[in-house]
C-alpha cells in the first residue's frame, strides 16, 4: 500500500479514525466532602449557637458516621470538643451555649471525618459579641460610642449594653440613659489612658458599668441634672469619678476602688453623693475641692485610703452626714479655708488621724463618733464648732474617760444625761463642750425582738414546749414595753418588760399544750413599740410551724408507729450537748433521752389521730 501524500486526504483519514474510535468513559477519583455552617453569623451572650453540616462520599450521604467538631475561641483555645454521629441523611448538628464569661470576638468551628482511607475537613467562623442596642430604635451596634453617635439616637433615648468588655472611650454629648447589663460584667476599659466615660451634656444617666483602666473613669464637665448609679470606677490612674463645674447631679450606689482620687468634685455645687463605697484609693476616697458648695455626702463608706474625706480650698455649706470613715491615714481633712460646712453623725474609726484641720473656720462638727483612732483631732489656725448645744450635745470620743453624774447646760445639776460632765478640749480655740458618753445616736428609742427559739418542733398534746425569746434595747433610754407571745392568733403569754439602754433580756416560758387542738401552730412574739420609736420592722419575730400531735409521735405524722420508737431508741442516752440529740424525741423535755421517753412512746403505740 502506498503512503498517502495528499495532506487533505491525510486529515480526512485522521478525523475518520477519531470518529470511528469507541469512546472510553472517564472515571473520577472518589471524593469525601464535609460541610459546616452556623445558623447565625453573630451571637449574643446567653444565645444558643447551632453548628450543622453534611458528610458525603461521591455525592451520597454517609449515615451513622462520626464527625469530629471543635470550636476555638479568639485565642485559638478549644472551648467545645465533640464527636457527633451523622443521621440517615448524612447530616450532623450541635446546639450549645458559650459561658457568660467567654471571650468576645471571632470563633472558628472545625469539622472533620475519615472514611475509606480519605479525610475531609472544613471550617466556618462566627462572632460572639456584646451587642449594644438602642431600645427606642431597636437598632444594634458593635460599640457603645457607635450607638451614641448614630443619627437615629436622639435626646431622651435609652441605650443598653450587654455584658462584656468594651475597649473604648465613651463620649456622651446627648441627653441619654446608658445602662449596662450589670456592673460586674459590663466593663468599659480605657486601655490605660483618657476619660473612659466623658459626659458634657445635661440630663445624662449612666448605670450598671465598671469603668476601668483610664486616666479617669467618669468625667462630668458642665453637666447638670445627671445621674451616675450602680457604677464601679476601678483602677484609673487619677480619678475614679470627677465632676467639673457640674451642678444638681446625683451619684449613688457606686464603688470607687483603686484609683488615686476616688470621687472628686471641683467647682461643683448642689450635688448629692449617696451610698458611695470608696476603698483603696491611693490618695483620697471622696474630695470636695475649689469652691464646691451645697453638696451632700450621705451614707458613704470611705475606708483604706490615704485620706477618707477631704474638704479643701474654700468649699462651703456642704453637709457630710452619716458616713463610715475607717482605716485611713487621715479620716477627715479640712484644709485651706473650708467654712460653714456641717459634719455630723459620722462614724470615724480605726484611722491613724481621725480629723485633721488647718486654716478652716466656722464648721459645725457634732454627733460624730470618733472611735479607736491613734490620734483623734489635730487642729491648726482654725476655730470651729464642736457641739450642737445642750441637750443635743457634741461628739463621742473613745479616748475620753470622763464621767456623767450631772446634767444641764453647765453640767451642775443632779442626774446623768448622756453627756460627760467636763468638756473635751482639743486646743485653745476648739472645744467640744458637751461630749457624748456613748456613740451616737444616744437618744434613739428603738427596741427589737432579736431571737425566738423553741425546745422542739413536734410536741405531744398535753406536754410542755419551752419557748425562749430575746429583746434588745438599741436606744439610749430605759424602756418599758408590753411583750405578747401568740400561737397562731391566740395569746399564750403576756408580760411587761423593763429594759435599760443597749442591753438585752431573755424571756423563757413553758407552753402547756393540754387544751390545744392537734394541728400546726406558728409562734409569734410582738414587742409593742415604745413612744418615739420609728423603726418597728424588728418588733415582731415569727417562728416556723410547731406540730401539736399525739403523745409519742416523734416525726409529726399524727401516727405513733415503729418509726417513732426507732427515732427514740436509736439515740437512747443522748443529751442536748450531743450532736445526735433530737429534741423531738425528748418527749418529757428534760434534755435527755431516757427509758421514760421510750415508755411514753410505746404506751401510745398504734394511736392514730382520726
Q: Which residues contact 467 (CB under 8 A, 6 or more apart)?
A: 452, 453, 454, 455, 485, 493, 508, 509, 510, 511, 523
Clarify whether residues 563 and 523 are in a common domain.
Answer: no
Residue 130 has a pLDDT of 66
Could you tell me the end-to-end alpha-carbon distance of the chain, in angstroms, rounded to an integer?
Answer: 128
Residue 405 has a pLDDT of 67
Helices (H), 129-223: 144-149
Q: Which of 242-246, 450-454, 466-470 has the lowest mean pLDDT?
A: 450-454
Residues 534, 74: Cα–Cα separation, whole Å: 58
Give the count of beta carbons closer than 10 Å to the beta carbon of residue 370: 29
Task: Kindly state whether residue 398 falls inside one of the protein's structural domains.
Answer: no
Residues 350, 369: Cα–Cα separation, whole Å: 11
Q: Is 90 exceeded by the pLDDT of residue 477?
A: no
Q: Each residue of 106-143: b (16+ CB within 10 Å) or e?
A: ebebbbbbebeeeebeeebebbbbbbbbbeeeeebbee
Q: Are 220 and 201 in contact (CB under 8 A)?
A: no
Residues 249, 342: Cα–Cα separation, whole Å: 20
Give the count of beta carbons closer than 10 Å to the beta carbon of residue 442: 20
Q: Is 60 exceeded by the pLDDT of residue 117?
A: yes
Domain boundary (549, 574, 589) is at 549
**Angle (nearest 5°) at CA 602 between 598 and 604:** 130
Residue 332 has a pLDDT of 98
In sequence order, the β-bridge partners of residue 244 are 221, 266
Residue 519 has a pLDDT of 93
Residue with cell string 416525726:
555
Radius of gyration for the chain, computed over Cα atoms and rounded to the nearest angstrom: 39
> pLDDT over 70 for what percent of the chain?
93
Residues 153, 266: Cα–Cα separation, whole Å: 31
Clarify whether residues 545 and 449 are in a common domain.
Answer: yes
Q: Are 471 and 450 in contact (CB under 8 A)?
A: yes
DSSP 32: E
pLDDT in tens, 235-252: 999 999 999 999 999 999
- Which three cell numbers mark 213? 483602666
Residue 26 has a pLDDT of 37
Q: Are 560 and 601 in contact (CB under 8 A)?
A: yes
Task: Kindly state whether residue 206 falls inside one of the protein's structural domains.
Answer: no
Clarify whether residues 49 and 68 are in a common domain.
Answer: yes
Residue 417 pLDDT grade (very low, low, confident, very high; cuts 50, 70, 90): low
Q: Are strands 490-499 and 479-487 parallel, antiparallel or unpaired?
A: antiparallel
Domain boundary (78, 104, 129) is at 129
Residues 299, 325: Cα–Cα separation, whole Å: 10
Residues 31, 51: Cα–Cα separation, whole Å: 23
Give the domain range for residue 605. Answer: 552-610
Clarify whether residues 449 and 499 are in a common domain.
Answer: yes
pLDDT in tens, 174-219: 999 999 999 999 999 999 999 999 999 999 999 999 999 999 999 9
Task: Kindly state whether residue 120 falls inside one of the protein's structural domains.
Answer: yes
Average pLDDT (99-128) is 91
Domain boundary (109, 129, 149) is at 129
Task: Kindly state whether residue 454 falls inside one of the protein's structural domains.
Answer: yes
Clarify whether residues 450 and 541 are in a common domain.
Answer: yes
Average pLDDT (463-468) is 90
pLDDT in tens, 254-313: 999 999 999 999 999 999 999 999 999 999 999 999 999 999 999 999 999 999 999 999
**Is 413 or 62 the better-scoring residue by pLDDT?**
62
pTM of the model: 0.60
- Which three cell numbers mark 90? 448524612
Clarify whether residues 536 and 581 are in a common domain.
Answer: no
Q: Which of 58-72, 224-238, 412-426 has the lowest mean pLDDT?
A: 412-426
Three-class DSSP category at 347: strand
Task: Kindly state whether residue 88 falls inside one of the protein's structural domains.
Answer: yes
> pLDDT over 90 for what percent of the chain?
75
Number of domains in the chain: 3
Residue 469's CATH number = 2.60.40.10
**Is 161 or 472 the better-scoring residue by pLDDT?**
161
pLDDT in tens, 370-398: 999 999 999 999 999 999 999 889 999 99
Residue 27 has a pLDDT of 37
Task: Kindly state whether residue 217 falls inside one of the protein's structural domains.
Answer: no
Q: Is 60 exceeded by the pLDDT of residue 114?
A: yes
- Which three cell numbers mark 563? 418509726
Residue 87 host element (H or E): none
Clarify whether residues 599 and 504 are in a common domain.
Answer: no
Clarify whether residues 563 and 544 are in a common domain.
Answer: no
Three-class DSSP category at 420: coil
Amino acid at each position: 500500500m502506498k503512503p498517502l501524500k495528499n495532506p487533505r486526504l491525510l486529515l480526512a483519514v485522521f478525523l475518520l479514525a477519531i470518529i470511528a474510535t469507541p469512546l472510553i468513559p472517564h472515571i473520577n477519583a472518589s471524593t469525601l466532602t464535609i460541610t459546616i455552617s452556623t445558623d447565625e453569623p453573630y451571637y449574643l451572650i446567653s444565645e444558643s449557637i447551632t453548628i450543622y453540616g453534611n458528610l458525603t462520599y461521591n455525592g451520597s450521604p454517609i449515615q451513622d458516621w462520626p464527625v469530629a467538631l471543635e470550636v476555638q475561641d479568639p485565642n485559638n483555645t478549644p472551648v467545645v470538643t465533640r464527636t457527633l454521629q451523622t443521621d440517615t441523611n448524612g447530616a450532623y448538628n450541635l446546639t450549645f451555649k458559650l459561658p457568660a464569661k467567654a471571650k468576645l470576638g471571632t470563633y472558628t468551628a472545625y469539622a472533620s471525618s475519615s472514611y475509606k482511607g480519605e479525610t475531609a475537613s472544613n471550617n466556618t467562623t462566627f462572632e460572639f459579641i456584646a451587642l449594644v442596642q438602642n431600645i427606642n430604635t431597636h437598632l444594634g451596634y458593635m460599640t457603645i460610642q457607635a450607638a451614641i453617635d448614630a443619627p437615629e439616637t436622639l435626646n431622651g433615648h435609652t441605650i443598653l449594653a450587654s455584658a462584656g468588655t468594651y475597649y473604648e472611650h465613651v463620649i456622651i454629648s446627648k441627653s441619654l440613659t446608658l445602662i449596662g447589663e450589670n456592673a460586674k460584667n459590663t466593663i468599659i476599659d480605657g486601655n490605660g489612658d483618657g476619660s473612659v466615660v466623658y459626659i458634657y451634656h445635661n440630663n445624662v444617666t449612666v448605670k450598671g458599668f465598671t469603668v476601668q483602666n483610664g486616666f479617669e473613669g467618669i468625667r462630668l464637665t458642665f453637666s447638670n441634672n445627671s445621674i451616675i448609679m450602680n457604677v464601679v470606677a476601678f483602677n484609673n490612674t487619677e480619678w475614679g469619678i470627677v465632676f467639673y463645674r457640674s451642678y444638681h447631679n446625683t451619684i449613688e450606689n457606686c464603688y470607687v476602688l483603686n484609683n488615686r482620687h476616688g470621687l472628686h468634685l471641683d467647682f461643683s455645687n448642689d450635688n448629692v453623693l449617696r451610698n458611695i463605697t470608696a476603698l483603696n484609693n491611693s490618695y483620697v476616697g471622696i474630695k470636695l475641692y475649689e469652691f464646691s458648695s451645697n453638696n451632700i455626702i450621705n451614707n458613704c463608706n470611705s475606708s483604706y485610703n490615704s485620706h477618707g474625706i477631704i474638704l479643701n480650698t474654700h468649699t462651703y455649706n456642704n453637709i457630710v452626714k452619716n458616713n463610715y470613715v475607717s482605716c485611713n491615714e487621715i479620716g477627715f481633712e479640712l484644709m485651706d479655708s473650708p467654712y460653714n460646712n456641717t459634719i455630723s453623725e459620722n462614724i470615724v474609726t480605726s484611722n491613724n488621724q481621725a480629723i485633721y484641720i488647718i486654716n478652716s473656720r466656722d464648721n459645725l462638727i457634732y454627733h460624730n463618733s470618733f472611735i479607736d483612732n491613734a490620734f483623734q483631732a489635730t487642729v491648726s489656725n482654725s476655730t470651729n464648732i464642736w457641739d450642737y448645744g445642750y441637750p443635743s450635745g457634741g461628739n463621742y470620743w473613745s479616748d475620753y474617760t470622763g464621767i456623767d453624774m450631772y446634767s444641764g447646760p453647765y453640767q451642775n445639776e443632779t442626774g446623768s444625761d448622756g453627756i460627760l460632765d467636763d468638756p473635751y478640749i482639743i486646743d485653745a480655740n476648739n472645744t467640744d463642750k458637751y461630749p457624748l458618753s456613748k456613740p451616737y445616736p444616744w437618744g434613739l428609742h428603738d427596741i427589737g425582738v432579736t431571737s425566738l427559739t423553741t425546745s422542739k418542733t413536734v410536741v405531744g398534746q398535753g406536754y410542755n414546749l419551752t419557748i425562749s425569746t430575746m429583746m434588745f434595747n438599741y436606744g439610749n433610754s430605759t424602756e418599758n414595753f408590753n411583750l405578747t407571745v401568740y400561737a397562731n392568733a391566740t395569746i399564750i403569754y403576756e408580760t411587761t418588760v423593763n429594759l435599760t439602754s443597749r442591753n438585752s433580756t431573755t424571756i423563757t416560758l413553758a407552753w402547756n399544750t393540754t387544751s390545744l387542738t392537734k394541728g400546726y401552730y406558728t409562734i409569734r412574739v410582738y414587742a409593742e413599740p415604745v413612744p418615739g420609736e420609728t423603726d418597728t420592722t424588728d418588733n415582731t419575730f415569727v417562728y416556723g410551724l410547731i406540730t401539736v400531735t399525739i403523745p409519742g409521735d416523734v416525726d409529726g405524722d399524727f401516727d405513733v408507729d415503729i418509726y417513732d420508737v426507732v427515732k427514740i431508741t436509736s439515740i437512747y442516752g443522748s443529751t442536748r450537748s450531743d450532736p445526735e440529740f433530737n429534741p423531738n424525741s425528748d418527749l418529757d423535755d428534760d434534755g435527755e433521752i431516757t427509758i421514760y421517753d421510750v415508755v411514753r412512746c410505746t404506751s401510745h403505740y398504734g394511736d392514730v389521730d382520726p
